[in-house]
Structures are given as structure tokens and as C-alpha cells.
Structure 1
Amino acid sequence: MLALTSTSIAWLLFVIILGGWVVYALLNLRQAHDELGSEVEMAANRRPYYDDEELEGPRLTRVLGVGVVLLVIIVIGLPLYWILEPSRLAGATDAKEEQFIEWGSNLFAPTADGGFNCAGCHGGMNGGGGAAPYNLTDPATGEVTAVSWAAPAVNTIFYRFSEDEVRFILVYGRPFSPMSPWGLDGGGPMNDQQIDTLISYMRSIQIPREDCGEGEDDPLSCPSGHLPTSIQDDIDALALASVEDGTYGSYGEALYNLDLSSGAYSCARCHTPGWSWGDPGVTGQGGFGWNLRGGKAASAFPNQSDMVDFIANGSVLGQKYGIQGQGSGRMPGFGSLLTEAQLEAIVEYVRSL
């Protein structure tokens, strides 16, 4: 609205100034007629003009008055335009982002709707998690098996990854998974503009965060916010119910193994082989993530609180963690998704393997 107002003011000033010049030109053309009986154009210095009394009286007053009016317009109009300029820029930025979101939604859409079918694997247009067809090849026998791979939710992807990390995954894909490269640099079909618009759309479908910090006005991306309490309560209820029915032996084991859709996703997805396609092997033996069994977790993190912090913040490329560990950037942070009690329960279970 403010952007439209500033544009209207700018057009009004333009029309007033242009109109003034037009009136000035017409008046001069009207006064510049030929002298009666003249056969040639009269020289300007022979044309009768105002006498000194008129020039230094009413004429001078009118000219000065017009000058004052134009000066007032400039003095008021320019500062007013500058005051409204930030709002105009913000409006232009918002309009651009809305356009990006629309374009990104077209890319995210199913193939039948002309998109690249991100929705087909990740649970529809809201990105709540789904399944992707995938062919597994046995490295020993070469046998190929068709499986349905549990695709993670992307409506919390910015809870776990930064925008740069999301862009890297989109461009280069996830090796050893159905997530193929989508960017031109990774061998995919999307250019940089399309990747940007896809990221804008995924940002728009993020589950709004709770308890954002001061000055963090966007609940879709505020750094200090966390998953809504209602969803964390649902995660607790799901985990506790699976312990009560004997599926898992402890609260921490349940949190480690359950597919926590609409929020976090299972630790077992990366750290238990076969979990993603419904045929889990030995718990914590390693897959996309490293092997957690045999006391390796406790050896890497002698202090349990350090391990809790690592899971909360994730792995930062090149940054040291634990005992002689160096981050690869592949381990996401779960501090915005899970409560401290949930993280501690998972760590206690993992350290018991």
C-alpha cells in the first residue's frame, strides 16, 4: 500500500511539473505573435514588452510566486518520496518473493500438473513426507530389488538445514538414495533461477515456529524458534504408546526408530541400514550416517552433554566435534525440532548400543 502511495505521489509531481511547462510554453507562444503590418519576423529586441513598473511590480511578484510554489513542491515532495522509498522497496521485495513462490510451486507440483514431481515423493504440495520408488542393487550378487523408500518431510527442512545446505542437496542430490541431482551443476534439469524459486516455495510451506526471539518476525524461519508444542506433544504420545505396546523397550529407543512425520524424522533413517525401505538391519549399525554400536558414540563423546549439543546443532563442515571428529556437514541439527528431554533420551539410548 505504501509503495503504491509513493508511486502515486511521484506521478502527481511529474504531472504538475509537466503541466507547468506546458502552460508556460502556451503562454509564450500566445504572446509571440507578429506585429500588425509586419512583412518579416520582428527581432526579439524590437518587440514591445512590459515597462519597468510592470516588470518590477506585478510581473515580478507572479514569477516569484510560481517559483515559491515549485520550491515548496520540491522541498516537501522529495523528502516524502525518500521517506516512503524503503516501503516501496520492501513491497517490491515481497512481490518478487510471492512470484518466486508461485513459480516454485509449479516446479514442486506432480508431473500430471506440469511440475517436476517433488510432491509425488515428499507427500503432496504441503511436503509432509511420503514415499519414493527406488531400485536397490545388491553389491555382492548384482540383484536388483524394487522398494518404496520413505521420503522425509520437507515442511521442516529449514529446521534442520540452512538455505545453502538445502540448495546443495537440491543441486547435487543425496547419493545412495532416490534423491537425484536437480541442478545443472549436478547433472539435473533445473537452472539456478528454478532452484531459487523451489527454495522459496519450500520456505513458504514450513510449519510455523513457536517462541521466536525479539526481532524475529517471520515464524517460518526465525532461528531461535522451535517446533510447535502441540506437535512435540504428539511425538511424545506416539513414542510412549509404542513403549506401552511393547514395540520398543524405552522412550529413547522409540524416538530413535519412529518415523516422526510432521516434524522430526527418524534417527534410524540414516543410522540403521535398510530402515528407509522398511527392511531394517541391525539397529545403529550405520547407513548414510556412521555406525553407533560398540560404544562408538560414547568414545566419540566422553561427555554426554557434548553429544546432546552435537545432535541439537548438527555437523558443520570442517568444524571439530567430540574427540578428533571433523564435521562433514551431512548431519542436520535437531535442536529446533526436538525438546531437550527428547534429545537426552535419544542420546542415552544410542550410548547404550
Structure 2
Amino acid sequence: MSIRPAVQHALVALPFVVLAACGGESEPAVPAPPPTPPVASAPAAPPDPELERGRTAYARYCALCHGDRAQGYAADHANAIGNPAFLAIADDAFLRAAIVDGRPGTPMSAWGRAHGGPLADGAVDAIVRYLRSLATQPAVDVSQVRVSGSIERGAAVYAQRCVECHGARGEGSETATSISHPNFHRAASDGFIRHTIEHGREGTPMPGFGAELPSQTIDDLVAYVRSLEHMPDRPVEPGGDPPPGLADLIIHPDGAAPAFTMRENRFVPADAVKEALEQGRRMVILDARATSDWANGHIPGAAPFPFYDIEQMAQNLPRDGTWILAYCACPHAASGHVVDELRQRGFEHTAIIDEGIHYWMDHGYPIERGTAQ
């Protein structure tokens, strides 16, 4: 008997068996797990009121010269006070003293109210808090560093390595700040100065000399820098008068208008201003620096008109075509800001006293002191 029909029958039935096995009594399908709920993100940290207050105060009083992020060199040679290497060695006391006391005789104003500036202690602390928030390096304690060096040997090295930027007497230049002011020496320890010379300030014109100079030579440099301490040679006459009243802003109100020849439709020479004052010409002169600077010494008849209070002060200026001149110590940053703002408000006869207050003082032109209010 042939088995072929039986085999064929089995082969035909096989798919049905397989299908029955696949669709028969199998284990029920396991349901997919529910989706994992998203992990809730941590709540945002509440804003720090002190930090925000400091940020606002910094923008108003400091950014013009030091830059909007404290990067420095926005005006003249204002240093990079947000530089990580600087913040690592400048403690809060150093920063606070620099803000409150400033560097009289330089473009760095004394901002504390004790000196006639606009900042109360709380505002100073808030600015310090903001600057500290910019730090990206851990603090380095340099207060206990002891230095023993030779002024004579340091002088030779200073002449080779430092004088081009910091000046023969440490007075500073277009690329470096003064390192001779008594307020700096009062706040900066030997370790602060030594660490700066050794490591420099990355991202600024200040290089580090630790890889080039022996340790003793750096100590000698510190000793010489200490010997440079002196007040800027810009004496002022005794005085102490309060600022002129709103009715007395115009100097020589009955005089004729001056005939200034401006440079770039913007700058008037200091010599021309002095001559116009001696001739009794009608004008307004605005001191664009902080009020403490006006009190410390200003051009006779000048009114304090700080660059950070333009909106309030501009309402009191004459709109009759009287010449309005502004000056500062930068020599153009603050005064240029004031003149730009006044021109935007429609004051056409405005100009900057080109060389600034330090030229005026250095040439022995008349200076008055005042009492800031």
C-alpha cells in the first residue's frame, strides 16, 4: 500500500496544527508598564535681592569705566575688577575700601558717603556681593605672605620690566593702573602685590613673571613697589563752598557767549575755556565725575553734574543757547556720556573740555574745593 496520500494529508494538515498551536492556549500577553512620569525639575533658586541690588548699582556707577561685566578698560585704564585672578586674592575688605575711599587724584572716585560720594554702606556691600558673584577661581589667602627684598635691586628690575606700563613713579598709563596711591598700599598686602607679580592677570595686559624671575627678585620688586607710594601731585586751594544753586548755574550770566573752535564738533581745549572764563564769557561748566571728586577740587564755577544723575540734573539747565561744557578725569568717558545725553535732550551748544581736570590742575589753573551735599 502507498503511504504518499497519508503523507500528503499530514503535510496539508500541518499548517493548521501550527496555527492552532500559535492561537491556542498560550499565556496571556503581559501589558506594557505605564510610562514613567517625568522627574520634576528642582525649583529655581529664589532671586538674591542683595545680588540684584549690587548688579543694578554696579551698572549705574561702575560699568562706564570698568565695563558691563567688570572686564575692565572700558574707559581709560580702569582695571578688570571682575578678573578671576584678581578676585581670588582681593578679599571683601580690599574691594570695599577701593569703592569707599577710591583713589583721589586719579579717575577712580571715592564712592562712599564719608567722602561725599553717593553710596551708603549697604550699597557698597551689595556691589561687593555682585563682584564676588563673578569669581570663578577659589580664594587664595595672601595675607600672611612675608616679603624681604632690596629696594635698590627692585628698582633695576622695575625699570626693565614694569616702567613702560606702570610709569616711572607707579602713576599708571593707558594700559595699567596706578600702583603708587596710598589707598592702594593701605589695602594691598605684600602677598597681594607678590602674587600679582608672580602670576599676573590672565586676559589682561599684566603678565606673570614667576617663570622668568627668581623668587628673591620678585621680593625685590615688591620692596620697590612699596617705595613708590605717594599722593598724586595735584594740590588744591582751601575752600569748602557748597554747590551753586539752580539759579546760579550760569557763570558770568551777563557776559557775551564764547567763540569756541571745536575739534570734531565735540571737544573744546582747556586753554580756550580758561581764556573764556578770564574774559567773563557766559557759560555753564559741569563736573561729570562723582560728587566726591567735585568736592575735592573743581574748575571755579563748575557745578557737580555726575554722569549717573543726568535725568534729574538736566531739568535745571538753561535752554537758551548758553554754552554747556562738561569735564571729567578720564578724560572723556564721563564727560562724553554727559554731553551725548544732553544732545539727545536737545541741548545743542554742548562740548567736552578736551584734556580733562588733570590737565587743568597740572597746569596750575585755578581750582576750588567744595562741600558735597
Quickly name the TM-score band, shorter chain normalised.
0.3 to 0.5
Greater share of helix residues, 1 or 2? 1
TM-score, length basis structure 2: 0.33
